[in-house]
Amino acid sequence: MIDSQVAKTTPVGGPERGYDGAKRIAGRKRHILVDTNGLVLAARVHGANLPDRDGGRRLLEEQPRLPRLELVWADGAYTGGFREWAEEERGWRVEVPHHRDRQLWRYGLEEKPRGFLVLPRR
């Protein structure tokens, strides 16, 4: 699984610092790759202005090959360029879990449930 988190910081801690417009936070973004048990396989910190798909690629470019890794679960921010790169360069399959009835809600064919729903693989 791969994901990122933005943290507020001051310029005192180092040069890499940016502004994430989506979260409205100035600081740093950390990317982390973990296995299904939650053990850290790779981690990287950089400016918050770097998109997730580029940050995920930077994270994995610096790491040695992980030969047993075949499948990566990610959120929607890692689609597109990251997904294509991971499949071409590393031979990994990148899956983004979605709720199975998502399209039904969008087009009004089913009423959207209220409250928290557990998604598979999340």
Q: pLDDT confidence of 101, banded at 50, 70, 90?
A: low
Give the pLDDT of residue 43.
Answer: 92
Query: Has residue 112 got a pLDDT over 70?
Result: no
The pLDDT, as a whole number, for residue 39 is 92
pLDDT of residue 40: 92
Return the closest-CA partner of residue 30 out of 48, 8, 9, 49: 48
- Domain ranges, ordered by start, for the chain: 2-106
Q: Which of 19-28, 76-85, 96-105 has the lowest mean pLDDT?
A: 96-105
Output the CA angle 120-121-122, nearest 5 degrees: 95
Q: Mean pLDDT in the chain?
A: 82
What average pLDDT does range 99-114 have in this prediction? 66
pLDDT tens-digit series, residues 35-86: 888 899 999 988 888 888 888 898 888 877 788 888 999 888 888 888 999 8
Task: Please tell me the total number of residues recorded for the chain in this structure.
Answer: 122
Does the predicted model carry a pTM greater than 0.85? no
Question: Residue 7: which residues within 8 A CB-CB, separation 6 or more?
Answer: 25, 27, 28, 29, 30
What are the start-end ranges of the H helices in 1-122? 52-61, 81-85, 102-106
- Whole-number pLDDT of residue 77: 85
CA distance 83 to 65: 17
14 φψ region: left (φ > 0), alpha (ψ -120 to 50), beta (else): left
